[in-house]
Amino acid sequence: MRKIPAALAVLGLTALGLVGCASTAVPASCPRPVDPDPSAMSAITVTGDVAKVPEVAVYTPFHTSTTAFQDLTTGSGTPITADTQLVVLDVALFSGTTGQPLVKTAYDGSNAAVFSLARWNETFPTLGAALHCATPGSRIAVALPPDGIAAGAGASLGLADGDSAVLVVDVRKTYLTAADGADQYNDALGLPTVVRAPDGRPGIIVPDATIPTDLVVQTIKKGDGAVVDGTAPVRLAYTGVNWSTRKVFTTTWDAEPKSVTLDAMGPGFAQAITGKTVGSQVLVVIPPDQVGVQTGAPADATLVYVVDILGID
């Protein structure tokens, strides 16, 4: 059994043995790209149910100079649209030279291995293009050229220079990249204003107004996803500003969205997010007595948060 490259180990892959179609339409708002080399996929046969370890037969020796792909099963839901997007994938990798299995994920049904697509791209540099607009429940066969696998990872798995490979990807779960709910009307008199960058990143403009002494919660965008009830961690993107200084004291937008339990965010924050739905964006003004203990939060300050609810873990 070969040792797994560090990049693969981080993604929870295990070097275990493996053995070894029709597509449907995806939403018109995010059409799947056209397979650049359909002939390459004719040498690959994949059988087995989605979410179970696939069986793959490869006409060997298999070689491709470009990344090619075929949708074997198409699911529904939030499509993959950005490298920064969080996803849960099951993958199985096969040698193009021998057709033998090289590495796979656990295929245990767990949604715990949440990573951005960018982290998968570190191991499979061309994977992002093959998964663009793919939806949860989809199974996709990907033909990888020699440069489709990071050099260190390929060598550790026994792939020689110039070897191609076959990757079968099950898209288990996807998260939103930003709140996508319907805009809501709010009376913003005396309250902060929210502006957004093209990628959804919010900016907070704090007015010269009397600081509220009570908790203020406004739904700016209302999503139609699952309800946050506090029983499971919730995946959030948020920015926090100190009302008095107008300075940002925390933001997740410079990294990956954060998985939090609501009680860890303090009573005011928890109350503001409980009952809201995935896809929503919420403006929260929290007075000092409802902040609770939060790492990095300024003491004895009124805090302003803009929170995007991206999914339930």
- DSSP output for 135-146: -TT-EEEEEE-G
pLDDT of residue 37: 83
The CATH code of the domain that includes 153 is 3.10.50.40
Q: Domain range holding 294?
A: 182-312
d(C-alpha 289, C-alpha 282), whole Å? 20
pLDDT of residue 260: 92
d(C-alpha 194, C-alpha 65), whole Å? 47
Asked whether residue 224 is assigned to any structural domain, the reply reads: yes
d(C-alpha 9, C-alpha 113), whole Å? 11
Residues 59 and 188 in one domain: no
pLDDT of residue 13: 52
H-helix or E-strand spanning residue 258 = strand 258-260
d(C-alpha 62, C-alpha 58), whole Å? 7
d(C-alpha 120, C-alpha 84), whole Å? 11
Residues 42 and 146 in one domain: yes
Chain centroid to Cα 22, Å, comes to 26
Domain termination residue (choose one: 174, 197, 232): 174
Provide the token pair at 271: 């109350």
Below-70 pLDDT ranges, the chain: 1-28, 294-295
Residues 124 and 157 in one domain: yes
Residues 216 and 151 in one domain: no
Residues 130 and 229 in one domain: no
- DSSP letter at 238? E
Provide the H-helix boundaries in 29-103. Answer: 38-41
Length of the chain: 313
Cis peptide before 192 (omega within 30 of 0): no
The model's pTM is: 0.87
d(C-alpha 101, C-alpha 46), whole Å? 13
Domain termination residue (choose one: 146, 174, 202): 174
Residues 6 or more apart whose Cβ sits within 8 Å of residue 116: 83, 84, 85, 86, 87, 256
Residues 97 and 13 in one domain: yes
* Nearest alpha-carbon partner for 188 in 177, 204, 175: 204
Residues facing 173 on adjacent strands: 88
What are the DSSP E strand ranges found in 96-205?
101-104, 115-116, 139-144, 165-174, 182-183, 193-196, 202-205
Asked whether residue 279 is assigned to any structural domain, the reply reads: yes
d(C-alpha 201, C-alpha 237), whole Å? 9
